[in-house]
Amino acid sequence: MSVRNRTTPTRRLAPVRRLLSATALAAALALAATGCGGKANADNSAPKKGTLRVGVIGSKAELTGPIGFLNSEKKLLPGLKAEGFDKIEVFPFPNGPDLNQALVGGSLDVASYGDTPALVARGSGLDTRLISMAAIDSDASIVVKKNGPKTLEDLQGKKIGVQTGSYIHRYLLGALQDAKVKPAEVVHIYNADIEAPLERGDIAAAAVPQANAEVFKSKGYQIIDHLLEDHPDYAGTNATVSTDKFLDAHPKFAATWQQLQNSGVKDARAHWSDYVDYSVALSGFPADLVRPTIRKEQLPDTAFPERGLALLESTKKFLVEQKFIKKDFSVDDWRVGGAK
């Protein structure tokens, strides 16, 4: 998402724990029980026959990563026809908790987003299964104004912004904990809205995806902490999940999706320049700033790469410790192929 100079009043910066906690998922489960869907297909009507409904994070109704690249080459739908799908509808959501509500409400069949909201949903009692991990080692940074705080320690007692319910949120909390820093408040701001409160001084710092951080840096902002350089164990991963209900109705879907993802990765690596161009175009950022942030190492060669599973387990453990997940669970049992 782009960095826009749009005013975000402080009163709209919702408390972080409310947006990420299991309580939010409980509310979503209540919506599901009463037949209310999420933003996508909000009347919770039955999906059109042959239509696969996919939820993503962002401002564009576009599939991303290797699956999206495969779709741009017109190779995705042919691979899904055997599963009864001849159309894909993509629904964008501003963040993971909102997407979770739509998944709970039956408005989506598949969700592709960051690991943190996916883990919170599972740990809150939502019957989801992990189909694949389409990306690993997602990067981020903490940015400040020029002549602002110089180190994480300088953020003691300060207000910090982040899009909550994301892998960036997990990174921020982990980095602050490691530095033994207690901020005055961590407030929820969408990535697209962070620049205005940061520039005004409403927040002292913000944690953002690496592409956003490069844009900030080009405008004179400073990076005081870089995820992959300073805290690589907090790197994010992508999670593609669905519900037990959907997968029970389409028992071969997960294996088909995994095969298609692997094909997308092979195509992306074989035509790397084309894949980078595709990713840059989706980002909406200047190409020279985004290109260095797109790395082959992010694309796993299997649905469940060892590195990705290790990151997922570490993130789950952190979320349990922070009480964002109330009930621990086995990642191995969660992923397709493990026990239900």
Provide the pLDDT for residue 46: 56
The domains of the chain are located at: 10-16+139-234, 18-137+236-334
Q: Could you read off the pLDDT tens digit of each residue along the chain, which spans 340 residues?
A: 333 333 333 333 334 444 454 444 444 433 333 333 334 443 445 567 799 999 999 889 999 999 999 999 999 999 999 999 999 999 999 988 899 999 988 999 999 999 999 999 999 999 999 999 999 999 999 999 999 999 999 999 999 999 988 999 999 999 999 999 999 999 999 999 999 999 999 999 999 999 999 999 999 999 999 999 999 999 999 999 999 999 999 999 999 999 999 999 999 999 999 999 999 999 989 999 999 999 999 999 999 999 999 999 999 999 999 999 989 999 999 999 855 5
Exposed, middle or buried, 30 (CB in 10 Å: 0-12/13-18/19+)? exposed
Structure tokens at 282: 């989706």
What CATH number is given for 18-137+236-334 in this structure? 3.40.190.10
In the numeric block, which tokens belong to residue 25?
Answer: 């998922």
Can you tell me which residue has the tokens 């805290």? 231
d(C-alpha 136, C-alpha 238), whole Å = 6
So what's the pLDDT on residue 20? 52
Q: Tell me how far apart the alpha carbons of residues 307 and 317 are, in angstroms, rounded to a whole number.
A: 16
Q: Count of CB atoms within 10 A of residue 151's CB?
A: 12
Closest CA to 329 of 124, 136, 112: 124
Strands 205-209 and 222-226: unpaired
How far apart are alpha carbons 19 and 298 in whole angstroms? 28
Query: Dihedral, CA atoms, 118, 119, 122, 128, nearest 10 degrees?
Result: 40
pLDDT of residue 42: 38
- pLDDT given for residue 239 in this prediction: 96
Same fold, 10-16+139-234 and 18-137+236-334: yes
What fold, for 10-16+139-234? D-Maltodextrin-Binding Protein; domain 2 (3.40.190)
Q: Can you give the pTM of this predicted structure?
A: 0.84
The Cα 22–Cα 171 span in angstroms is 19
